[in-house]
Amino acid sequence: MKKINYYKAREIVDLKEMLETSCKMYGEKTAFYTKEFGSDTYQEIKFKTLLEDVNCLGTALINKGLKNKKIAVIGENRYNWACAYLAIMCGTGIVVPLDRMLPKEEIKICLQRAHVSAIIYSGKVKEVIEEIASEDENNSESKLNIEYYIGMDEKQSHDKFLSYSELKEEGKKLLEDGNTEFINSKINIEDVAEILFTSGTTSKSKAVMLSQKNIMFNIRNHNMMINYKSEDVFLSFLPIHHVYECTCGFLTPIYKGAAVAYCEGIKYIQENMKEAHVSVFLSVPLVFEKMYRKIWSGIEKQNKTKLVKNMIKLTNALDKVGIHLKRKVFKNIYDEFGGKVRLFIAGAASVNADVSAGYRDLGITAIQGYGLSECSPIVAVNMDVYSKDDALGLPLVGTELKIADKNAEGIGEICTKGDHVMLGYYEDEEATKNAIKDGWFYTGDLGYIDEDGFVYMTGRKKNVLISKNGKNVYPEELEEILNNSNYISESMVYSKSKGDDIKIVADIIVDKEYIEKLFKDSPKTKEEIKDIIWKEVKRMNQTLVPYKHITEINIREKEFEKTTTLKIKRYMELKN
């Protein structure tokens, strides 16, 4: 096994210390690029301003009687969300980040389950929050016990509805008058600091309890595996309530003295990368794969495919002898992303290995990691200088990995142990006992570990399809093969009963743009497109053992229902 040289990372105890020391070291640097204040161009917010705003808001929250209480934060990725999260975590109470895309009834259930005392919300969910407040006020049987509704975009306070900006001003005056309760507050890193609701792609969402010890361990130790820099600019695209974006795309830049630029939406990724000169982008495989296809589509339109492939061969050969020319040779591609891009990190699902290798051919380091909300989130990650494109990565520094209940192929359930593992599920001892045994967290994911210590995932334990002869078929494996076809945009594989056995079915969304371009001189009907896809599936079947063959396909027009991290809600699709 190769000896690994890890990067150095500064010691931190809790988020409060991290924020204060980072602001001391990087006070005059830009911490955030934001457009939330009505501007069409990015406005810069310095580290010193961040600390001032957090102290003001935290002081006001405690003054309102919210010390040690649970406070929900719900809204889009923006500076006020980040400030609210830190104000709660750095001395006020327990933060409950919520998905703003949830239906009203699910938001209410989350508020009830977490026993939330206050909600800090953005204008984009104002209507829903006001409906919840009204229903709660008029229904004595379902009291939520919400003391305050704090609107990020409210101009004035009235009754239980408080203005975020007025609250911050109130905190500023309290600080000027000598109120130091928030500033002097002590953090117990072992206590519950955050309650996260999982996305529930396979079943009802669980409420994960994380401590600051969990979060700080994850931040520091994954920085020993990836060399982030203080001059980096991260693009914040994935939903910030999700622990992957929160820990890695929000808190990590603060730890490193880097900046965060808020993305305006999936259509604006490339434009925002240009505007903010983004160097680091965390996202999901679907986004990276679409971006990669777009790069090559642009190359093909310019009739430069052969030239670029030849230049890749040449620059790869030069790299081996220490001559690095990719940034110059492929300058036009870099310029399309703002000129500074250097690192792509995929999470939430496995990325196509060819895509990672393809980005690296162009000089962009593309790696993937593996994690869960229950592990705050990182379990394993590829290093920027030592990686395998088809692997999820190496165990997070200071943690352990094992494979439980291996089958004949050496595949079993991925388990992990260390300070990254959650405290448990909130008010659910049975689920906690089922998930954590002798300190080991059982992830529910199946996979194996190779001789170099890299972990690989074959699929979700709950998703495995078992044939009559006891053979395991992993839908995720087949989906990856399908999605690698230029004809196919997305797919979902599942089984149907066939007598006393099963047959394997694939629901497929075709890449209409590719097919229209390919057959622009002879447009295809829906039936002809299905025939094209079926031939493609048959070709793929030839590369697989017979029991894995897909024997039925359905062409979908409608998008799959997804979580906010773009995972298909498999259980919902199968239910329908």
pLDDT one-digit tens code per residue, 319-350? 899 999 999 999 999 999 999 999 999 986 77
Please compute the mean of the pLDDT values over residues 141-158 and round it to a whole number. 88
Q: What is the pLDDT of residues 206-244, one digit of tens each?
A: 899 999 999 999 999 999 999 999 999 999 999 999 999
How many residues would you count in the chain?
576
- The pLDDT mean for the chain works out to 90
pLDDT tier for residue 571 given thresholds of 50, 70 and 90: low
User: What is residue 202's predicted lDDT score, i.e. its pLDDT?
Assistant: 39
pLDDT (tens digit per residue) in 114-140: 999 999 999 999 999 999 998 888 776
* CA pair distance 57, 118, nearest whole angstrom: 14
Q: How far is CA 325 from the centre of its chain?
A: 32
Q: Identify which has the larger pLDDT, 339 or 460.
A: 339
Count other C-beta atoms under 10 Å from residue 112's C-beta. 14
- In our burial notation (b when 16+ CB lie closer than 10 A, e otherwise), range 42-63 reads beebbbebbbbbbbbbbbbbbb
Instruction: Supply 491's token pair.
Output: 């797919």
Per-residue pLDDT for 468 more than 80? Answer: no
Residue 314 has pLDDT above 50, yes or no: yes
| Average pLDDT of the segment spanning 14-19 | 97
Helices 285-301, 305-320: crossing angle, 10 deg rounding: 120
Can you tell me the mean pLDDT for 521-525? 84
Name the more confident of 19 and 355.
19
Reported as a pLDDT band with limits 50, 70 and 90, residue 25 is very high
pLDDT at residue 102 tops 70:
yes
CB 30 within 8 A of CB 46: yes
Tell whether the model's pLDDT for residue 477 goes beyond 50.
yes
| Weakest-pLDDT range from 9-13, 97-101, 119-123, 405-409 | 405-409
pLDDT tier for residue 8 given thresholds of 50, 70 and 90: very high
Q: Select from 294, 532, 545, 576 the least CA-distant residue to 409.
A: 545
Over range 269-280, report the average pLDDT.
95
More confident residue, 1 or 96: 96
How much is the average pLDDT of 419-436? 95
- The tokens describing 205, both together, are 């969402």
Residues 31-55 have pLDDT tens digits of 999 997 667 899 999 999 999 999 9
Give the residue with greater pLDDT, 546 vs 111.
Answer: 111
- Give the position of tokens 């003295």: 257
Of the pLDDT bands very low, low, confident and very high (cuts 50, 70, 90), residue 201 is very low
pLDDT(316) > 50 = yes
Domain segments of the chain: what residues?
15-187, 464-575
Cβ atoms of 272 and 236 within 8 Å: the answer is: no
Helix 285-301 / helix 269-276 crossing angle, nearest 10 deg: 90
pLDDT of residue 567: 75
pLDDT exceeds 50 at position 537 = yes
Same CATH topology for 15-187 and 464-575? no
Beta-bridged to residue 346, according to DSSP, are 283, 368
User: What distance in Å separates the CA atoms of residue 80 and residue 166, rounded to the nearest whole number?
Assistant: 13
> What is the mean predicted confidence (pLDDT) over 500-505?
79
pLDDT per position as a tens digit, 371-399: 999 999 999 999 999 999 989 999 999 99
Instruction: Identify which has the larger pLDDT, 489 or 459.
Output: 489
Full DSSP string of 139-208: -GGG-----EEEETT-SS-BTTEEEHHHHHHHHHHHHHTT--TTTT----TTSEEEEEE---SSSS--EE
pLDDT at 469 over 80: no
Identify which of 9, 419, 377 has the alpha carbon closest to the alpha carbon of residue 189. Answer: 419
On the question of pLDDT at 159 being above 90, the answer is no
Q: Which of 556, 411, 552 is nearest to 472 (CA)?
A: 411
Q: Put residue 197 in one of left, alpha, beta given phi > 0 → left and psi -120 to 50 → alpha.
A: beta
pLDDT of residue 273: 95
Is the distance from CB of 295 to CB of 287 less than 8 angstroms? no
261 versus 569: the higher-pLDDT residue is 261
Range of weakest confidence among 327-331, 527-531, 560-564: 560-564
**CATH node for 464-575:** 3.30.300.30
Greatest mean pLDDT among 115-129, 466-480, 491-505:
115-129
Q: Above 70 in pLDDT, residue 545?
A: yes
Per-residue burial over 388-411, b = 16 or more CB atoms within 10 Å of its CB, e = otherwise: bbbbbbbbbbebebebeeeeeeeb
Q: What integer is the mean pLDDT of 404-425?
A: 93
Q: What is the pLDDT of residue 225?
A: 97
pLDDT: is 21 or 199 the higher one?
21
Q: What is the pLDDT of residue 210?
A: 98
Check residue 203 and give its pLDDT.
43
Peptide bond into 546 cis (omega under 30): no
Provide the pairing of β-strand 472-473 with 465-466. Answer: antiparallel
Report the range of poorest mean pLDDT among 63-72, 158-167, 487-496: 487-496
Where does residue 526 rank: exposed (0-12), middle (13-18), buried (19+ CB within 10 A)? exposed
Residue 41 DSSP class: S
- Residue 562 in tokens: 């997804």
Choose which CATH entry (3.40.50.12780, 1.25.40.10, 3.40.980.10, 2.60.40.1530) describes domain 15-187. 3.40.50.12780
CB atoms under 10 Å from CB of 347, counted, come to 26
